[in-house]
Amino acid sequence: MAYKEKEIEKLYYTIGEVAEMLSVNTSLLRYWEKEFDVLNPRKNAKGDRLFTKADIEKIKLIHHLVKERGFTLDGAKAHLKNNLAQEERKLKLVEKLKKVRAFLVQLKEEL
Amino acid at 88: E
Grouping H, G, I as helix, E, B as strand and the rest as coil, residue 6 is coil
pLDDT at 100 over 70: yes
Total tally of structural domains belonging to the chain: 1
What is the average pLDDT across 6-31? 87
Residue 45 maps to a domain:
yes
Range of the domain at 26: 13-110
Residue 33 maps to a domain:
yes
User: pLDDT: is 18 or 9 the higher one?
Assistant: 18
Residue 103 maps to a domain:
yes
Strand 49-51 versus strand 13-14 pairing type: antiparallel
pLDDT at 80 over 90: no
Query: How do residues 40-56 score in pLDDT, each as one tens digit?
Result: 899 889 989 999 998 99
pLDDT at 94 over 50: yes
Residue 2 maps to a domain:
no
